[in-house]
Amino acid sequence: MISKADIEKLAELSRLKLDENEIAGLEKDFSAILEYVGQVSAVTVDGSREAASQLHNVMRDDVAVQNAPGNTRESLLEAFPRREGDYDVVRQIIEK
Amino acid sequence: MDDLARLSITEASKKLASGEITSLDLVRACKKNIDARNAELNAYLEVFDDIEEQAKEADARRARGESHPLLGIPLAIKDNILIQGRRVSAASKMLENYTASYDATVIKKLKEAGAVFMGRTNLDEFAMGGSTENSAFGPTHNPHDEARVAGGSSGGSASAVAAGMALGALGTDTGGSIREPASFCGIVGLKPTYGAVSRHGLIAMGSSLDQAGPMVRTLEDAQLLFDTIRGRDPFDSTSINLRPTTYDLQPKRIGVPRHLLQKGIDEDVLRSFNASLDTLKAHGAEIVDIELPSAPLALAVYYIIMPAESSTNLARFDGVRYGLSLSGDSLVDDYAKTRAAGFGPEVRRRIMLGTYVLSAGYYDAYYGKATAARAKLREEYDDVLKSVDVIATPTVPSPAFKIGEKSDPLSMYLADIFTVTANLTGHPALSVPITPVMREGKDLPVGIQFTAAHGGEDMLFAAGKMVE
């Protein structure tokens, strides 16, 4: 139902570096899980249901608000894994 | 009662108001139980070092004339809810050293009321699981039998309340994560109507499913805590204002979907459930058979929609802005190394599953079908809830299982069979303890689950009080 190559491709798309053991385990788990959730294939999709969705967009004014007391800006900067001054140091991705 | 930590919130609140006890007395009573049992139970990941200061502050506020029923009440907080300046880990290596930069709206409301936060409770990593065995910091044990799980994902909160380490707790529920541990630990757990409680400041899992709610000892406590944390919040666009809860309801018709109870349910649990239906009848309620034709598909629908939303929400953990950050050979390799090391096996499995069901070529077959089935399920529930006041089922098909007993993921997922539906349909659902079942000489708690119409929390409390 799902091949080792499929699992490897999914790991790549999911940005997860997996070892051989885990890939083999997931191949097995996925077959059982997909067989179970595959029950939904019996459902007929009725177009009118989508039109009846109760969801709607909720907008707000585009203004800055303070949502917590204190210096929340500083606490966000402190969370940077590699901080230099007020900058977050990231890997260079464009090369000459 | 000798142990103040075993009082209900409502009882403790009266004693605080009359001056019979102080918040400091309550906090010390809870701390005594923590010192005695937390090393074995692993309910708290961290007990805050300022609990006595918080209690003294609450007592000072009372002395100045404040009187909220939660003022000075010790509560446990699931460790996926942000408290400004404190660590919040989601029980993951990814956020092990992360400090919250703001208060969740539910925390803000509890601070205004004057509650004391005892500490952060254990959970399945990122709330993914039904046993708290998926925590990166070890499983939580059940106070009724330490060889068994406390349930999950809010297992730490359930264990803490059941063991007298707090008077009540907050949990979160995406597919049963409040109700299942409440059932396993013998306490009351409410998953409110979708949108009733703000999710601002909760670490997101499945955004169309998540709700925060109370985990407490009595229905009265559940109503008190729910009324304190509910309400529309500009920081959560899905939040809504519901009508106020009332106290004088009496459920007249209770629907039981017998067709869902034919197989796969522990015999003793079913007997206990049927006995509680007799209690409801004795209180004057009429028990009627109902049909929910799409309900057998609910679990399959859930295990498509939830991983799809989880994999999307967890895409934000890239090691660039916060959390664990590892370096590899390239930018993509940085991401892949960080995420493989930061996320545990169940989280990785669900990210992979979500990525699969959303991928080109499979989207229509899985996510599209699941969304259609979800809409149908909601219609069926809405229809049935026009003719009955509440729907009753067991909360979980079995009592708490043993730690390590369920080793394959699918058998673990099947424990969620009765709880996932309310998350898919957005209806409020409540678990209330009923007659326990005996296993190996120990009484293990069991819960009955009630589901009501949207905004029908008060009907749930009324039904719960009839079996309490």
Of B352, B374, B413, which to mutate for an interface test with A (greatest number of A Cβ within 10 Å)?
Answer: B352
Range of the domain at A9: 4-42
- Inform me whether the pLDDT recorded for B59 exceeds 50: yes
d(CA B27, CA A72): 30
How long a stretch of residues is chain B? 468
| pLDDT at residue A54, as a whole number | 63
Total number of domains constituting chain A? 1
ipTM reported for the complex surpasses 0.85? yes
Instruction: Select from A33, A58, A72 the Cβ nearest to the Cβ of B303.
Output: A33
According to DSSP H, which parts of B46-199 are helical?
51-63, 105-113, 155-162, 179-185
| pLDDT at residue B408, as a whole number | 84
d(CA B334, CA B328): 5
Closest residue, chain B, to A37 (C-alpha): B300
Per-residue pLDDT band at A47 (split at 50, 70, 90): low
* A27 domain-assigned: yes
Lowest pLDDT segment from A2-11, B218-227, B310-319, B402-411? B402-411
Per-residue pLDDT band at B229 (split at 50, 70, 90): very high
Rounded to the nearest 10 degrees, what angle do helices B298-313 and A20-37 cross at? Answer: 140
- Inform me whether the pLDDT recorded for A53 exceeds 70: no
CB B328 within 8 A of CB A4: no
Are the Cβ atoms of A22 and B366 closer than 8 angstroms?
A: no
Query: Residues with Cβ < 8 Å from A11, sequence gap 6 or more?
Result: A17, A18, A23, B336, B352
Higher pLDDT, A43 or B112: B112
* A13 domain-assigned: yes
Cβ neighbours of B423 (radius 10 Å): 27
- Residue B293: list chain A partners with CB under 8 A: none
Average pLDDT of the segment spanning B193-200: 97
- What are the tokens at B467? 């079996």
* A77 domain-assigned: no
* A36 domain-assigned: yes
* A52 domain-assigned: no
Query: Any idea what DSSP says for residue B247?
Result: S
| pLDDT at residue A50, as a whole number | 53
Say how far residue A85 (Cα) sits from the centre of its chain: 30
* A95 domain-assigned: no
- Inform me whether the pLDDT recorded for A45 exceeds 90: no
Query: Residues with Cβ < 8 Å from B414, sequence gap 6 or more?
Result: B264, B299, B397
Q: Which residues pair with B172 in a beta bridge?
A: B212
Say how far residue B185 (Cα) sits from the centre of its chain: 12
Average pLDDT of the segment spanning B60-86: 97
Average pLDDT of the segment spanning A15-40: 94
**Percent helix, strand and coil across chain B, each rounded to 5?**
45, 15, 40
Instruction: Select from B321, B369, B375 the Cβ nearest to the Cβ of A41.
Output: B369
Instruction: Select from B102, B319, B369 the Cβ nearest to the Cβ of A67.
Output: B102
Say how far residue B82 (Cα) sits from the centre of its chain: 16
Per-residue pLDDT band at B376 (split at 50, 70, 90): very high
d(CA B120, CA A96): 49
User: Is B339 an 8 Å CB contact of chain A?
Assistant: yes
* A93 domain-assigned: no
- Inform me whether the pLDDT recorded for A55 exceeds 80: no
| B153 has catalytic annotation | yes
> Where does residue B433 rank: exposed (0-12), middle (13-18), buried (19+ CB within 10 A)?
buried
Query: Residues with Cβ < 8 Å from A14, sequence gap 6 or more?
Result: B311, B339, B348, B351, B352, B355
| B411 has catalytic annotation | no
SS3 assignment, position A72: helix
- pLDDT tens-digit readout, B405-459: 998 888 888 889 999 999 999 999 999 999 999 999 999 999 999 999 999 999 9
Q: Give A41→chain B minimum CA distance, Å.
A: 6
Rg of chain A, C-alpha, whole Å: 23
Strand order in the sheet with B116-121: B44-47, B116-121, B74-78, B168-173, B211-216, B188-191, B429-439, B442-451, B390-394, B253-256, B286-289
Cβ neighbours of B353 (radius 10 Å): 27
- Inform me whether the pLDDT recorded for B337 exceeds 60: yes
Angstrom CA distances, B271 to B266, B285, B436, stand at 9, 19, 10
Per-residue pLDDT band at A51 (split at 50, 70, 90): very low
Per-residue pLDDT band at B395 (split at 50, 70, 90): very high
Q: Give A91→chain B minimum CA distance, Å.
A: 7
Which one from B31, B78, B109, B406 is the annotated catalytic residue?
A: B78
Are the Cβ atoms of A33 and B297 closer than 8 angstroms?
A: no
d(CA B269, CA B396): 9
* A32 domain-assigned: yes
**Residues 10..69 of A with a Cβ closer than 8 Å to B: which?**
10-18, 22, 26, 29-30, 32-34, 36-46, 49-50, 52, 58, 60, 67-69
- Inform me whether the pLDDT recorded for B1 exceeds 60: no
Q: Give A49→chain B minimum CA distance, Å.
A: 7
Are the Cβ atoms of A40 and B348 closer than 8 angstroms?
A: no
